[in-house]
């Protein structure tokens, strides 16, 4: 029995949003072992945005946008990529990649709470269960004294949570804002704008811009994979899945990515996996399941 082309594409797309997005935590962690964090983010999004612009041009998509759409792209690019991703990468200097990925998995919880606060939407029983499990799981995760080696670890944990909040608010904002109708064009603008802002931030912070030839092979490959696979392929795969499968199925990346990140961090970087982390992960991801399965929620994840 032959497998259809569409089925193969769906399988490859799920591989992309599960494994590739899950691996971006590890790749970012490897990159910041040698390079300044905002410099890493600036390179990633500048090049990824440029590539997407070239693809959009090749596809003959309309690239012109209104002034309002441009302003909204600036806001979304800042919340999603400059703060949400740039500061997240900075925090990875003090946290294990798997641990940070678990913190990031609480994004659906934050989105739900923001929708309640901003729109006044009543929570369903499944959502309330998900929120309760998310809070319990997060407490178990961040209360592990053996993982808090210094004050920087605590700061890293806190900053990751602020990144999750930034991403979550951006998801709510984009759902209502006047954005370019084509997701490819919208993403290209957000990435390019974020790249410019991150370059400015990197220069203001006087980060050391190390030329690519001076990077180790591991860091070189990490940046290439982050740009091409994490920035272009995985995002395109996610949007493809939103068109051909249910949003709930596409949203399963929210609780698969952390598992992939934890396993890769443990296997490649010898990151610690405690019993309490495993318990916290099970509770957290169960909570995420209750939230993401309540209805169709389109949110961009932290690894995008």
Contact 88/302 with Cβ under 8 angstroms?
yes
Question: Quick one: pLDDT at residue 234?
Answer: 86
Of 251 and 19, more confident: 19
CA-based torsion, 224, 51, 21, 155: positive or negative: positive
**Portion of the chain with pLDDT greater than 90, in percent:** 49
Measured in whole angstroms, the distance separating CA 263 from the mean position of its chain's CA atoms is 17
Question: Quick one: pLDDT at residue 264?
Answer: 93
> Which tokens sit at 279?
């318990």
The region of weakest confidence among 26-30, 208-212, 237-241 is: 237-241
Measured in whole angstroms, the distance separating CA 242 from the mean position of its chain's CA atoms is 17
Q: Which residues contact 118 (CB under 8 A, 6 or more apart)?
A: 172
Q: Which residues contact 244 (CB under 8 A, 6 or more apart)?
A: 6, 10
The answer to whether residue 296 scores a pLDDT higher than 60 is: no
The region of weakest confidence among 38-42, 170-174, 190-194, 298-302 is: 298-302
Question: Quick one: pLDDT at residue 299?
Answer: 52
> Which tokens sit at 47?
């090049």
Contact 287/298 with Cβ under 8 angstroms?
no
> Which tokens sit at 159?
């900053």
The region of weakest confidence among 17-31, 51-65, 67-81, 139-153 is: 139-153
Report the alpha-carbon distance of residue 72 to residue 49 in Å, rounded: 16
Position 122 confidence tier, pLDDT thresholds 50, 70, 90: confident
Q: Residue 246: what are its φ and ψ, rounded to 5°?
A: -65, 155
Contact 303/98 with Cβ under 8 angstroms?
no
Contact 74/174 with Cβ under 8 angstroms?
no
pLDDT for 146-173, tens place per residue? Answer: 666 667 888 999 999 999 999 889 888 8
Question: Quick one: pLDDT at residue 124?
Answer: 80
The region of weakest confidence among 51-55, 59-63, 102-106 is: 102-106
Contact 101/258 with Cβ under 8 angstroms?
yes
Mean pLDDT of 34-46: 96
Question: Quick one: pLDDT at residue 248?
Answer: 61
Mean pLDDT of 118-144: 82
Contact 133/279 with Cβ under 8 angstroms?
no
Q: Which residues contact 252 (CB under 8 A, 6 or more apart)?
A: 18, 292
Position 209 confidence tier, pLDDT thresholds 50, 70, 90: very high
Q: Which of 106, 102, 104 is nearest to 287 (CA)?
A: 106
> Which tokens sit at 224?
């290439």
Of 217 and 113, more confident: 217
> Which tokens sit at 250?
């596409």
Domain boundaries, the chain: 5-292
The answer to whether residue 246 scores a pLDDT higher than 60 is: yes
For residue 106, the 8-state DSSP code is T
Question: Quick one: pLDDT at residue 294?
Answer: 55
Helical spans, DSSP H, in the chain: 5-15, 21-31, 37-58, 67-77, 88-91, 97-104, 107-119, 125-142, 151-176, 183-204, 217-225, 234-244, 247-250, 253-269, 275-292
Mean pLDDT of 189-203: 96
pTM for the full predicted model = 0.88
Mean pLDDT of 37-64: 94
Neighbours of 156 (CB within 10 A): 23
């Amino acid at each position: 029995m032959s497998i259809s082309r569409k089925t193969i594409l769906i399988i490859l797309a799920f591989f992309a949003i599960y494994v590739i997005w899950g691996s971006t935590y590890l790749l970012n962690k490897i990159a910041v072992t040698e390079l300044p964090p905002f410099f890493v983010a600036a390179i990633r999004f500048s090049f990824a945005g440029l590539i997407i612009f070239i693809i959009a041009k090749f596809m003959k998509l309309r690239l012109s946008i209104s002034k309002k759409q441009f302003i909204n792209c600036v806001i979304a690019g800042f919340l999603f990529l400059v703060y949400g991703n740039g500061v997240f990468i900075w925090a990875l200097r003090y946290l294990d990649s798997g641990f940070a990925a678990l913190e990031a998995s609480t994004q659906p919880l934050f989105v739900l709470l923001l929708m309640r606060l901003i729109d006044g939407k009543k929570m369903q029983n499944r959502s309330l269960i998900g929120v309760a499990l998310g809070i319990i799981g997060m407490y178990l995760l961040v209360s592990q004294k053996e993982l808090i080696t210094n004050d920087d670890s605590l700061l890293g944990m806190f900053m990751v949570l602020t990144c999750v909040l930034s991403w979550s608010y951006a998801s709510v904002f984009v759902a209502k804002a006047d954005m370019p109708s084509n997701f490819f064009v919208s993403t290209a603008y957000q990435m390019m704008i974020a790249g410019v802002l991150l370059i400015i931030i990197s220069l203001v912070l006087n980060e050391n811009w190390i030329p690519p030839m001076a990077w180790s092979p591991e860091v070189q490959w990490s940046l290439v994979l982050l740009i091409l696979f994490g920035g272009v392929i995985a995002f395109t795969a996610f949007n493809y899945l939103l068109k051909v499968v249910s949003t709930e199925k596409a949203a399963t990346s929210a609780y698969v990515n952390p598992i992939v990140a934890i396993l890769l961090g443990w296997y490649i970087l010898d990151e610690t996996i405690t019993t309490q982390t495993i318990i916290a992960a099970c509770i957290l991801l169960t909570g995420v399941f209750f939230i993401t399965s309540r209805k169709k929620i389109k949110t961009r994840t932290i690894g995008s």
